[in-house]
Structure 1
Amino acid sequence: MPIATLHHLSELDATTWDALLPERQPFLRHAFLSALEDSGSVGGQSGWQAAHQLWLDERQRPLAAMPAYVKRHSYGEYVFDHGWADACRRAGIAYYPKLLGAVPFSPVSGPRLLGDPLAAGHLLDALSESLERQGLSSLHINFTDPAADELLRGREGWLERLGCQYHWRNRGYRDFQDFLDGLSSRKRKQIRKEREQVAGHGIAFDWREGGQLDEAEWDFVYRCYANTYRVRGQSPYLTRAFFGLLAERMPQAIRVVLARQGGRPVAMAFSLVGGDSLYGRYWGCLAEFDRLHFETCFYQGMEQAIAQGLQRFDAGAQGEHKLIRGFEPVLTRSWHYLCHGGLRAAVADFLEQERLGVQGYAEEARGLLPYRQG
């Protein structure tokens, strides 16, 4: 079969990989994925082993690709299949290792099957047929775009799963006040009060691009990021080296807002920009202030999107509290090919019930949005 597996993205030059990308989303770029590998954030003992899949032509040039990882756990994926793995353990079925098509630690929908659609379809079929021979229980593709959905929908053995996130949409606002004017009176007052509370602490905000931070500021960014995990007794997924490599390889895509009190940094939010979207990724603080999270992670990002003329702000995977601040429910999709027939049947039944619940929830959530009617 004309398939190649890359165990490190450095085996393929950046120009060839990036030429397969259909859009300017930063998470799929060679610079981002290789920074994860070169920094030790994936690989080693992380449970993420790079196994990027390529479909090659007769001259060994890639026609299609899928960023992929052999996984020995389900952490850092944000499509939760721990229950499936636990059921397998109790039934004596091996669930790990599995193959995952995704961007590590990044629950952002986008292209997952890159390059020529026909070749991508061949790649899918060849992979699903070879899983058991490779000692893999399953293939999962998370946070797909409509092009991948079209390829996967109706393909034998593939199961679709829905999720729900919250994204903010820029409706051509002139400024933040213009956004507030479109809200109900009660919600408008609530947001103003939250912002006034933060301002009352004497906190000011400073936006930077990736090339504008020095090493001491990057150290601060990482301490904040790591602290969000350590306060919960967990280890951070990303290493300090990842941030340094990303600042070298794609500084123009990085946006960091620093929250300062009396000139001293106390919190930060790290985002990436690509196409017409701002992607809020990581946040952290070294001092606690009431409502600082909402200001740093949400309102600052909204203002930045308006100022830069960006159409969408994806501030992260979870958080119903986003609804009352204007973030709208958006359905996400993932796809799952399970080799074990009994497991596949059980999961298919579960997903059918879950799908109705997710769709109903998203519809109900729309009723909680703060926008004025009409």
Structure 2
Amino acid sequence: MVKPTQFRILVGSYEHNLLCVSLMLTETPVFQPVFHFEAHSLSIKSIDIAKRYLVTGSNDEHIRIYDLQKRKELGTLLSHQGTVTSLRFSDEAEEGEESTEKSGKWLLSGSEDGKIIIWRSKDWEVFGTLKGHQDRINDLDIHPTGRVAISVSKDQTIRLWNLMTAKKAAVLKIKGRDSLGQQPEFVRWSKTGDHFIVGFMNKLFIYETNNAKIYQKYNFKTTLMCMKVIVVKDKEYVVLGHSNGLIEMVEFEKLTKQGASDEPLVFKPDITLRGHANRIKDLTYYYNPKDSQVPYLISVSSDGKIVVWDLDQHDQVAVYDSGERLNCVAVCSETIEKADTMKRRSENEMPDIDSEYETDGEEMKKIMKKRKGKKSKVTITRE
């Protein structure tokens, strides 16, 4: 008998709510609500998970921290003056690591205030603040080495940052003739870090990292709403979610093998997935060889649905209707909780708001040895 795959899906909504459901994939998929509550006073715009920690960012300018192992809220980070548009844990892979779990040694948060803050997840202190953008941070990503970050902004620039020194590494200006007035909305590193991909409303630019120049351009007719880079069975894919509810996937190698070109090419997907009625707002990926040999893509939409896709079969295997306008999604293993560390709580209840700091014992010695200057202390606000 084949062991069923089980994992948890967490989503943030326009209705200010944080929802977690457990999915068991058998012949008939079973969704079990874990918790559902109002986590912010305004819409939840960003979310990420690393090991036991979940973070959410909102229009209310707050970043909430949760310990999923204990199902407990730890506190709130208050250092931005504007919507928290992007949250990204570091995900540098350990040697031999195969799962999609992130290391989470540090967290980067981007905001409408134009700042990017580097948080040290061991104690949630500020490692540094990256200043330079003159307008909203639209998106950011961390290089596979964990040493460099990249960000795109409404100010029409792409900036690279040295995370070891918390200083600017390079600035790239988007030329009008290239973007036709469109601002860069999304950015992702390739898995090797040799390229980075910038997404506009209906364009993709692929840059070479070593010279920071555009290598290839692609056009598409629909409006781009989200972008992800994943590895499925040793093949790297760029995954795009569009305003018409379609998901498109193409092998990254195909986007670069034609060589450098000044003229835009037409984006031709290898795989098209149809399962949503309207805008795809976010995508994530789950693969854990301890759990299952099947890779899954999870998409959420303004239509309120969570759709789980089997990427071996290129077909949906489970659908959950949340009844809310979903905005962001993250996944984690079903085994993240430890029953002996949790208080007794009624079903569908998220932890009491008795905030406390918990450390998972991760060390930052290698990073901190290279850090200069005095610590910048940040207090976790109890609410």
TM-score when scaled to structure 2?
0.26
Higher strand residue share: 2
Which structure's CA Rg is the greater one? 1
Higher helix residue share: 1
